[in-house]
Amino acid sequence: MAYTFDIDNQPTLNELSASVRYAVQTRNRKGADEFCAFYEQFLRENPKFRTESPQFAGAYDVLYDQARWVALPHLAEENDVVQLFEQKVNALKLQPEGYDLKDLFRERLLITPLEQRNAFKARIRDALLRNKEQLTKPFPAMGSTVERAGTVSNWVTEYLSVVRDAKNDALLQARFFNEHPGFRTLLPDEQAVLKNIFGVLEMTRLDSTKVEGFEGSKLVELDGKLMEYDGGGFSEVGRDLMEELNKLPASYRPPTQKEKLRDRFNDPEPERLAIAASMEALRAEAGSNPQKLRELLARDLTVRTGQAKPNVPRAAAALRLYAAVHDFKTLLAERALNDLIRAFLEKEKRTVDLDSFKVFPQAPQFLKLFLQVVFEDALGLPEAEAARQALQVANVARERGDGALMDVAFYDEEDDAFHWTVPLRKPAAVTVR
């Protein structure tokens, strides 16, 4: 078929798939938005594409839905955002670990004038309650054996029936995630989608004109009035919000870079609770025995055929606990942990590094490599989250007097993410046509 762009062929599909995949993995909202704009323009110019080339159109539609969830802050039309939450939640399964829908939705809310946000959030909540997408297998309600269809709507209704009037209650959320008989048996990607959806759902239950639900980050006072700056102008904040802010001990100001870095560095509340619980369990199992703790970590990182992937909070807890109590340089005395590095270096054909590792495995560069391999390779975290977790461990070791690991990663202010100081792997060659 003759189209305005020659995209109905496998090489072009492969190239565009790689482009979208890169945008998704790197949280490149602009790149994702550019693909969406290109595909929308292509469909306008080639209205018969879906009927004439259904196989390719289906593949591009999947890429489009995946990219739109990354480009969420750039979607100007509220109806487009509502449609995602009402019809395209399954596409969230294609997002990598660490995808933060709540943060993207917060950014999208800032486009909407303050006085209109509550109404917009109500539309999103209603869209989720109407969504009949089959997201999971059937599940029983809490305290019941009767199963219901695993639709988005049913899961949202079930979640609301458990948390009831409590808003943004981390303990109730943790209870739901850990105790709900249906949720606990879901696949990891299904659990991740629901956690993202519930995070947005909690935002829709808060009043944007109150301190607890205000999404903005830049408030200024002009002529005695509290104003929100949205990058293009100022809008007055509601009187009730101003009164509440006046009750605070210090006047509001935009966060400093140090405060922003701290917020990005700290664990989200549900994860913090999970890591704390894992630490208590590990202390009970290993006591003060470093060898026992090493054995537990090695066992947890070993994934056998048919098993679920390793437990991220437990592995993070084990590494932080070891760094807090024991000399981190002794960690690789455990053969199974040592073998993780050997296997990685052999797989990457880094023979010089492998020879050095055999001689001096406790060298700082190999301890840092171990953190990289554990969090990105063994646990499968995206680089930004893997680097953040590694820095958490390094920070614990520093507090104990060992700062050798602190340069394992860094925070890039420009793209608001953590990155490895030394990439785990060499970048793949790019073919330029």
Taking the C-alpha atoms of residue 57 and residue 59, their distance in angstroms, rounded to an integer, is 5
64 is written with which tokens?
């489009």
Taking the C-alpha atoms of residue 218 and residue 228, their distance in angstroms, rounded to an integer, is 6
240 is written with which tokens?
């009730």
Q: Report phi then psi at 381, rounded to 5.
A: -80, 150
Q: Does the pLDDT at position 133 exceed 70?
A: yes
Return mean pLDDT, the chain. Answer: 84
Q: Does the pLDDT at position 375 exceed 90?
A: yes
pLDDT for residue 262: 73
Report, as an integer, the average pLDDT of 301-315.
70
pLDDT for residue 307: 56
Q: Report phi then psi at 382, rounded to 5.
A: -65, 160
pLDDT for residue 412: 81
Taking the C-alpha atoms of residue 100 and residue 70, their distance in angstroms, rounded to an integer, is 9
pLDDT for residue 257: 58
pLDDT for residue 237: 58
Taking the C-alpha atoms of residue 112 and residue 108, their distance in angstroms, rounded to an integer, is 7
- Between 209 and 277, name the one with better pLDDT: 277
pLDDT tens-place string over residues 137-169: 999 988 888 999 999 999 999 999 988 877 767
> 219: which strand partners?
228
Instruction: Give start and end residues of each alpha helix (H) in 253-311.
Output: 257-265, 269-286, 290-301
Q: How confident is the model at residue 343 (pLDDT cuts 50, 70, 90)?
A: very high
- Between 170 and 48, name the one with better pLDDT: 48
pLDDT for residue 431: 38
pLDDT for residue 232: 45
Residue with tokens 């482009």: 19
- Residue extents of the structural domains in the chain: 10-205, 217-250, 278-420
Q: Does the pLDDT at position 333 exceed 90?
A: no
Nearest in space to 237 (alpha carbons), one of 113, 365, 82: 113
107-111, 232-236, 276-280, 390-394: the lowest-pLDDT one: 232-236
Q: How many helices (H) and strands (E) does the chain have?
A: 19, 7
Nearest in space to 433 (alpha carbons), one of 15, 149, 85: 15
Q: How confident is the model at residue 54 (pLDDT cuts 50, 70, 90)?
A: very high
Report, as an integer, the average pLDDT of 60-66.
94
| Alpha-carbon distances of 105 from 118, 269, 378, rounded to whole Å | 13, 18, 30
| H or E segment and range at residue 386 | helix 383-399
Q: Does the pLDDT at position 304 exceed 50?
A: no
pLDDT for residue 269: 82
Helix axes 29-45, 54-70, angle to 10 degrees: 140
Q: How far apart are the first and last CA of the chain?
A: 23
Taking the C-alpha atoms of residue 85 and residue 200, their distance in angstroms, rounded to an integer, is 10
- Between 231 and 43, name the one with better pLDDT: 43
pLDDT for residue 246: 57
300 and 313 Cβ atoms separated by less than 8 Å: no
pLDDT tens-place string over residues 408-424: 988 887 778 889 988 88
Taking the C-alpha atoms of residue 375 and residue 384, their distance in angstroms, rounded to an integer, is 10
101 and 199 Cβ atoms separated by less than 8 Å: yes
19 is written with which tokens?
């482009």
CA 163 vs. chain centroid, Å, equals 23
Nearest in space to 89 (alpha carbons), one of 181, 205, 204, 200: 200
> 151: which strand partners?
134
pTM given for the model: 0.53
Counting beta carbons within 10 angstroms of the beta carbon of residue 38, is it exposed (0 to 12), middle (13 to 18) or buried (19 or more)?
A: middle
- E strands present in 264-400: none
Q: How confident is the model at residue 430 (pLDDT cuts 50, 70, 90)?
A: very low
pLDDT for residue 305: 42
Report, as an integer, the average pLDDT of 187-213.
88
Q: How confident is the model at residue 429 (pLDDT cuts 50, 70, 90)?
A: very low
Q: Does the pLDDT at position 283 exceed 80?
A: yes
pLDDT for residue 402: 79
Report, as an integer, the average pLDDT of 426-430.
46
Q: Does the pLDDT at position 433 exceed 50?
A: no
> 419: which strand partners?
410
Strands 409-412 and 417-420: antiparallel
Percent of the chain with pLDDT over 70: 85
Taking the C-alpha atoms of residue 317 and residue 297, their distance in angstroms, rounded to an integer, is 9
